[in-house]
Amino acid sequence: MTVTAPPGGLGLTHVEAAARLARDGPNTLPPPRRPHPLALLAAQMGHFFALMLWVAAALAFVAGMPALGVAIGVVVVVNGAFSFAQEYRADRATERLRDLMPVHATVRRDGMPVVVPAAELVVGDVVLLDAGDRVCADLELVPDGRVRVDESMLTGESAPVSAAAGDRVHAGTFVVEGQATARVVATGGRTRLAAIAAVTAGARRPPSPLAAQLHRVVRMVALMALAVGLVFFLVALALGQASRDSFLFAIGVTVALVPEGLLPTVTLSLARGAQRMAHRKALVRHLEAVETLGSTTFICTDKTGTLTRGQMAAVEVWTPAGQVRVEGEGYRPEGRLVGATRAVEAARQVGDSAARCSPDAHAAQAGGQWRPVGDPMDVALHVLATRAGAPVHPAPLQRHPFDPRRRRSSVVDAEGVHVLGSPDVVLLRCLDATPDAETAVETLSARGLRVLAVAHRPPGRPDATADLAERDLHLLGLVGLEDPPRPDVGEAIARCRRAGIRLAMVTGDHPRTAAAIATEVGLATPGAPVLRGADLPQDDAALAELIDHDGLVLARVTPEDKLRIAQALQSRGHVVAMTGDGVNDGPALRAADIGVAMGASGTDVAREAADVVLLDDHFATIVGAVELGRATFTNIRRFLTYHLTDNVAELTPFVVWALSGGRIPLALTVLQVLALDIGTDQLPALALGAEPPGPRAMVGRMRLGSLIDGPVARRALLVLGPTEALVSMVAFLVVLGTAGWAPGTPVSPWLLGVASGTAFATVVLGQVANAFACRSEGRWVGLVGVRGNRLLLYAVASEIAMLLVFVGAPPLQDLLGGHWPGAFGWLLAALAIPAVLLADATHKAWRARHKRPPARAVPLAPPVTSSRKAAR
């Protein structure tokens, strides 16, 4: 048989491609011009809160208090540098994660289709385009086929445009329908996309929902700080202090309470969570997606490649002449067909026609193993044809690729029309389909096999459309493909159930096949229905009520059905994670709260629409990402509790001073409060943000709520904070009292310095205990232990070291106003550790007896709807 040259020619040789790549450079966009790091640092020093503090520092200098002015300036610089460092690290981490996104192209090199990284495309390469592909360079179509292209990224037009021979398609667009061959005409910085990217590089992203809520929290606390400062200014005036001193006193209190470092700490926590997910093969495309992952309540998962291995193998062929067993290993071409002679010959024709419908798929040897090049199912059919001894087939005259709506594909060549697709679609177009064929479909499907029907029509006049070509067919047979379940998917499903997450299988496969696999892996629950997409009610409310069940199996589902399913579950209050890999899954992935695309086998369109890309296509990876999402937001609540507790202890001395009418001196100076905020507290807060998932992270459903809700506020403001404040004030007053001081009497500067140093040490040691108490919302420190977070141990050691420097170094003693406490003072300060731990354990025990165990909250009350996702 003479094999005709494929459209577009044999393509470049590997040598030619390498030479052109060296000459023209990689097919990548020029890196965007980024602001200089010094400009970014300056921006952190010039936002609203920073400007407010700079004004306060200037007023302190004018009023003759340079120490306070310098301290306020240090606060701005340290917090600005900290914010810059964390944002810079988060942005770099996000860029590194984007680099993990698999972007490849199928080209013809040395006459054979191969998959290469998109960056290695060169001018003159022959590219094979298929539905779902991202166009990775500017291409010109050759006379081979017709495609429809989504150019919305370039033009803003949502309707796909048609492209045929001689037309150009541009980098950054997506093929949404059809197949074609094209030749590369421009790469990298010479593409149309590069010109547009240069114009849009300076566009700013809108803040994520989490960032918006954090900004609200920061503004709220800052306004409270201003209000407190104003109150203390009026109180100081009422107590007879000079207006200058009262004003500076109020400025100091306000500065001490402004939460400058909160937002960058949270951003870093999200970035760390995203990096952890990447290590588990879950690529988070937007940091804000981490916030939603932890709140997932319903996962709609595909079957093939996610619950199963995604390693297709044709194991059975049914023909009217009899049934044939296919023997062989994996994708190795060696193997044989076992059965009666007539049945084996008929199976050979089945394999031949099936392989013709996907001519670009094949198995290739790499690293000593045979691997699929193309869709695994298509490759399995080619392996079947090879084992059956089918001849090399000619290039098709017409090609109608698989469409999820039609659920079939076909080619027209010199030997007729060859059709491959879902049995319930193909059998209706066959003239000789018998009840035996339908029985065979049910039998193979009940064994968990994916069943495809293969049909043929003898040569004749080529029809212009697929619908005309795919009529009056002769049924050749059925192919049963095996895709075994992944070995650990059952445990992942059990973890979802323990976490209160409902599951549904949403697949385009046959209902019996889907039900068999769902039962085998433990997804299907007793009594849960198996529904067909065609049987779903048109009324959205009825659909929502019907599918809001755990263990549901939805088969023969179209992309439009997936979109309705996601929206219906959201209307019931669910936070929905939806998997998808096809070009038409984009709308459902965008509409779901978390769109999950397949990185290994999915289309570029699906990956672009998704929030999370599974680099290994594994269902267990979704579950692991949910666990890390829950842990990330539990960590945010941990260091918020830590910060709020400290603020209570810092504010209490000023309240006591005001309520006593100045008869009790200040236990902490303004500079000591600043030393707590920018010195001792920062590292433990960051370490709490790195806390690994706890053993109960996947136990029970997450409760949706605000970032600072009732449990956090009560624990920090009514339990831990007052305990720290009480012990600190008692230690301060005991040191004064043992030296003979009485309220309202003068106190020597030395004695006040020792008492103030004792109070300062008490707060710091109380925060040491608080850091370990914040590791769990429901278990006391004795159960949690202290070894699970090595970073926290280092941070606490640094905190204690800074404490010794602040109260022991003479220059800092004079600057901050606190001296070395002495043995008795240290003993009093050390009481803060058992006091805080005892208060924490008592509160947790009381809450366990009187209320449900605390649920982990996520910081967004409403689920992320499609409109919100569009806004971000």
Q: Which sequence positions are flagged as catalytic?
A: 302
Q: Give start and end residues of each alpha helix (H) in 286-434.
A: 288-293, 341-356, 376-388, 423-426
Angle between helices 619-659 and 489-498 (to 10 degrees): 30
Side chain identity, residue 197:
A
Buried b / exposed e across 514-529, counting CB within 10 Å, b at 16+? bbbbbbbbbbbbeebe
Alpha carbons 804 and 812: distance in angstroms, whole number: 11
User: How many Cα atoms sit within 13 Å of 151 on the Cβ side?
Assistant: 17
Cβ(788)–Cβ(796) below 8 Å: no
3-state percent breakdown (helix, strand, coil) of the chain, nearest 5? 50, 15, 30
Could you say which DSSP state residue 865 is in?
-
In whole angstroms, give the CA distance from residue 851 to residue 700.
15
* Cα of 571 vs its chain's centroid, Å: 23
At 15, list the tokens: 């040598």
Q: How far apart are CA 374 and CA 260, in angstroms?
A: 52
Roughly what angle, to the nearest 10 degrees, separates helices 540-547 and 559-571?
80
What does the alpha-carbon distance between residue 428 and residue 431 come to, in Å, rounded to a whole number? 8
Pairing, β 612-614 against β 594-598: parallel
Q: What is the CA radius of gyration of the chain?
A: 34
Query: How many Cα atoms occupy the beta-carbon half-sphere of 678 within 13 Å?
Result: 23
Distances (CA, A) of 714 to 645, 774, 851: 10, 13, 14
Q: Quote the CA–CA distance of 711 and 699 in Å, as a whole number.
A: 19
Q: Report the 3 state secondary structure along 161-209.
A: EEECCCCEECCCCEEEEEEEEEEEEECHHHCHHHHHHHHHCCCCCCCCH
| Helices marked H in 312-458 | 341-356, 376-388, 423-426, 435-446
- Look up residue 389 and give its amino acid: G
Other C-beta atoms lying within 10 Å of the C-beta of residue 531: 20
CA 91 to chain centre: 15
Task: Please state, in angstroms and rounded to a whole number, the distance separating the CA atoms of residues 657 and 68.
Answer: 20
**Angle, alpha carbons 851-856-857 (nearest 5°):** 105
* CB contact at 8 A, 123 and 84: no
Distance CA 689, CA 486 (A): 33
> Alpha carbon of 683 to those of 52, 248, 588, 768, 795: distances in Å?
25, 29, 42, 11, 5
Helices and strands (DSSP H and E) totals, the chain: 33, 28
Round to whole Å and give the CA distance between 755 and 735. 6
E strands, 392-501, are: 398-403, 408-413, 416-421, 450-457, 474-482
Strands 530-532 and 552-555: parallel
Alpha helices in 743-863 (DSSP H): 749-773, 781-784, 790-808, 810-816, 822-830, 832-850
The phi-psi region of residue 416 (left if phi > 0; otherwise alpha if psi is between -120 and 50; otherwise beta) is: left
